[in-house]
Structure 1
Amino acid sequence: MRRVAVTGMGVVSPLGGSVVEVYANAARGRSGIHLLDVAFAPRLNAPLAATAPFDGAAHFEPPRLRMLDRSSQFALVAARQALADANCDRSAVDPYRAGSFVGTGMGGSQSNDDGYQTLYAEGSDRIKPFTVLMGMHNAGAAWIAIDHQLRGPSLTYSTACSSSAVAIGEAWLRVAGGSLDLAIAGGAEAPLSFGSMKAWEALHTLAMIDASDPSASCKPFSKDRSGMVLGEGAAMVVLEPWDRAVARGATIHGEVLGYGLTTDTGHITRPSVEGQAAAMRAALQSASLGPLAIEAINAHGTGTLANDAVETAAIKAVFGSRASAIPISATKAMHGHLLGASGALECVLSLLAMQHSVVFPTLHLATADPECDLDYVPNVTRTQFPARTMLSNSFAFGGTNAVLVLRAACDG
């Protein structure tokens, strides 16, 4: 297995539209969650979301824009950023050994919602001609491959909330195994359509509005947590063999060391300690590391009652008495839950945390929960913490648990 370097990163998110902006806002503990000011807001029980400050018209000409769902727009812009950051001469890479790997939970949900509005609410048969192309889950990966002439695998993973962690892990396997020399991997999600938000609301997993501060409504690991807040955006990383990156003088942001993947089979929405712990152990095994090597964790940390307690117990099961000494960030308190794109955004945040020797905070953690009694870095970024190796956890409805092992850029 070859070492795999991360040489490019790109983001469009509720914390900003560039890697620099995302780091600055995360480090200062800014929440991107807010009350929604849209026409359908009065019909939501809790009109909250974490929206990306993004206008597709600033990035695409009108004829192109008409073919792109918002999720594909996010994917393309984040991919452009990541490839520009990697500064790679793609003419030096066999295009059949380069691929795109994208995770999404809901695909082009806004485009599909618009089509249903036309059909059922307006009683019209005049559906937009590109509705299928805009709504299909693989649109983002396909457009990235087309725009950048990546003629190897173009693969889309849809495993709900772990989709983009799976995409990065699967891309890592191919680069590490020698079948690819370049991969762009990550996720994109734009789930803030009316139909999507009402469907999530019906599951009773969304947070209630914090009356004193709506931006504080997502409270992972806090006793008074009430659920997750939906977000939108995309994050992408460029992966290439370490030796190739070093030889061309690339700036290396970090390294993907391992990837663990397991499936809970007890219930389609109920997480299990056993499954999450097994995914973390599998990730460590794939990286040839023991639990002592992990210095920080980016938790899945959704802010739901069940997930946070189960994840806490799973971390204890893997790390034993040392679990309480590992700082754990739940960054969804800041950027919301980007569903299929969350794992990729959290991968980028983990790499940034190691680059800057910080641990990002778990915001809005004011009330201790006896079931969640680990070091969650409450409310304020922890500075001067030079972690070298991190886990990034992503767990999902449907039971797919994906864990990435990440290392700071170093020669050893």
Structure 2
Amino acid sequence: MRNEVVITGVGLRTPMGNTLQDVRAVFASGTPVVASHAAPDGHLRAVARLTEDYASAFSRLDRSLIDPVAQLSILAAEAAVADAGLDLSTADRERIGVFVGTGQNTAHTFMEGSISLQEKNTLKTFTIARGLANGVANHVSIRLGLQGEAQAIALACASSNTAIGNAVRLIRSGELDGALAGGSDATYSEFIYRGWEAMRMLAPVHPDGAERSCRPFAKDRNGIVLGEGAVIFMLESERQAKARGARILARIAGYGATSDGTHLLQPDAQGQARAMTNGLRDAGLQAQDIQYLNAHGAASTLGDATEVQAIRLAFGSHAHGLPISSTKALHGHMLGATGAAELLALIVALNDGLIAPTANLYEPDPALDLDFVPLHARHGPPLQAAMSSNFAFGGSNACLVLTR
């Protein structure tokens, strides 16, 4: 009999705010936090940026050793532990792991290093140490003194769902009692934006305002809007959580992951559908048991269309009666952190009965004829089961199923 895994705490640093209540308010209002920001050459970009000076929480020495993406993961992890009411001084720290997904990882550090080499022909002392890819997870372990397994997962948009799934497997097996798991990405750097612009993947600022720029599943969708932030969950075995009287936000009932094995940039509906089907099987549920699907829905022309094909394959006739939404129109595409951020929509739906809308869906694509909860949130009784899916460049697919 496997150990069931539950969420007992959440910590976040997002453009929507830093508490679950802040995020719920954005989901309820359906108002995007996307705004326009000027590039160095003056042209405007649509982006969901963090507004706080989170680096000020760290000493000068710490900032020289810890890249912004790891700074965010530390702050979110500390908040998750506090939210869970877990006293680490009495916990078995060898049995608590850290699993953090990230997409762009330490791009800030290497961009700064490249500029320094060009302008000064020198590098800062800790450039390599600060730029290590494992820092996003290991800095959390160091900061909190956790000695269980630590993993930094880099699977683009599927990173945080995979990180959470890996943590779930180890808690289920009994190798860990708990874990901090989620994702982090600090995307607002010129290097990252120019790279996405070069691929012509970014939506331009909409004539009616930047908040209209990301339009998943719409007829006139034309690209993604980048977001940034970190969301980390405190995961525990259900047995341990109940023994200490912890508040339980949700149970992670299922995890499914696949690789398309077909193409670097072109998604594959069969691979995506298999991930969703695997998640259902792992949760012991049927397609008709899912009451809400938080879709990847990045607002790319090909990606959204492929995802709809995958949903039809995985859910069959239930696809047409299933409420589906993409919250990326609200908070932007947070890359490696996006799956963790979107899991918040499931927690709200399971606890409050609020289904977040797909913002900006004024003119749906007639070829994508599913229920995408356009424009306005839906209110009802708390849900019993919901799924969140994320699909990445390279064909990495990862889905999570949460239940009450």
Compute the TM-score of the two structures, normalised by the length of structure 1: 0.95
Whether contact under 8 Å (1:104, 1:137) holds in the other structure is no
| Paired position in structure 2 for 1:29 | 30
Whether contact under 8 Å (2:260, 2:268) holds in the other structure is yes
Given the alignment, which residue of 79, 82, 89 partners 2:80?
A: 82
Are residues 1:5 and 2:6 paired? yes
CA distance in structure 1 between the aligned counterparts of 2:18 and 2:111, rounded to whole angstroms: 25
Whether contact under 8 Å (1:17, 1:54) holds in the other structure is no
* Helix, strand or coil at the partner of 2:355: coil
Q: CA deviation at 1:380?
A: 0.7
Are residues 1:361 and 2:362 paired? no
| Paired position in structure 1 for 2:308 | 312
| Paired position in structure 1 for 2:159 | 163
Give me the CA root mean square deviation: 1.3
Q: CA deviation at 1:126?
A: 2.6
Whether contact under 8 Å (2:55, 2:71) holds in the other structure is no
Given the alignment, which residue of 236, 239, 248 partners 1:240?
A: 236
| Paired position in structure 1 for 2:99 | 101
Compute the TM-score of the two structures, normalised by the length of structure 2: 0.97
* Helix, strand or coil at the partner of 1:364: coil
* Helix, strand or coil at the partner of 1:66: helix
Decide which moves more: 64-73 or 234-243: 64-73
Are residues 1:401 and 2:397 paired? yes
| Paired position in structure 1 for 2:65 | 67
Q: CA deviation at 1:174?
A: 0.5
Decide which moves more: 230-239 or 342-351: 342-351
Once the two structures are superposed, the pairs formed by residues 9-408 of structure 1 within 5 Å of their partners are 9-42=10-43, 47-120=45-118, 122=119, 124-408=120-404
Q: CA deviation at 1:344?
A: 0.8
CA distance in structure 1 between the aligned counterparts of 2:66 and 2:194, rounded to whole angstroms: 23
Whether contact under 8 Å (2:10, 2:20) holds in the other structure is yes
Q: CA deviation at 1:18?
A: 2.2
- Give 5+ residue unaligned stretches, structure 2: none
CA distance in structure 2 between the aligned counterparts of 1:190 and 1:242, rounded to whole angstroms: 32
Q: What is the aligned length?
A: 403
CA distance in structure 1 between the aligned counterparts of 2:323 and 2:105, rounded to whole angstroms: 33
Q: CA deviation at 1:385?
A: 4.3
* Helix, strand or coil at the partner of 1:379: coil
Alignment identity in percent?
Answer: 39
* Helix, strand or coil at the partner of 1:199: helix
Whether contact under 8 Å (2:7, 2:233) holds in the other structure is yes
Whether contact under 8 Å (1:189, 1:340) holds in the other structure is yes
Q: CA deviation at 1:116?
A: 1.0
Amino acid at match of 1:36: H
Whether contact under 8 Å (1:71, 1:108) holds in the other structure is yes
Whether contact under 8 Å (2:358, 2:376) holds in the other structure is yes
Amino acid at match of 1:23: R
Whether contact under 8 Å (2:66, 2:139) holds in the other structure is no
Whether contact under 8 Å (2:55, 2:68) holds in the other structure is no
CA distance in structure 2 between the aligned counterparts of 1:91 and 1:40, rounded to whole angstroms: 50
Whether contact under 8 Å (1:298, 1:392) holds in the other structure is yes
CA distance in structure 1 between the aligned counterparts of 2:247 and 2:337, rounded to whole angstroms: 24
Whether contact under 8 Å (2:157, 2:391) holds in the other structure is yes
Decide which moves more: 204-213 or 171-180: 204-213
Q: CA deviation at 1:57?
A: 4.1
Amino acid at match of 2:30: G
Q: CA deviation at 1:38?
A: 4.7
CA distance in structure 2 between the aligned counterparts of 1:30 and 1:83, rounded to whole angstroms: 29
- Give 5+ residue unaligned stretches, structure 1: none
* Helix, strand or coil at the partner of 1:301: coil
Decide which moves more: 53-62 or 143-152: 53-62
CA distance in structure 2 between the aligned counterparts of 1:334 and 1:381, rounded to whole angstroms: 12
Task: Give deviations 1:325-369, integer Å, cap 9, x for gaps.
Answer: 111110000110011110111112211222111100100001121
Task: Give deviations 1:244-297, integer Å, cap 9, x for gaps.
Answer: 101111011101001001101221111111011000001111111111211100
Amino acid at match of 1:147: R
CA distance in structure 1 between the aligned counterparts of 2:144 and 2:183, rounded to whole angstroms: 17
Whether contact under 8 Å (2:6, 2:236) holds in the other structure is yes
Task: Give deviations 1:10-53, integer Å, cap 9, x for gaps.
Answer: 111111122221221222112121111353553xxx62211012
CA distance in structure 2 between the aligned counterparts of 1:49 and 1:20, rounded to whole angstroms: 22
Whether contact under 8 Å (2:292, 2:323) holds in the other structure is yes
CA distance in structure 2 between the aligned counterparts of 1:327 and 1:348, rounded to whole angstroms: 16
Amino acid at match of 1:86: A
Q: CA deviation at 1:62?
A: 2.5
Whether contact under 8 Å (1:343, 1:393) holds in the other structure is yes
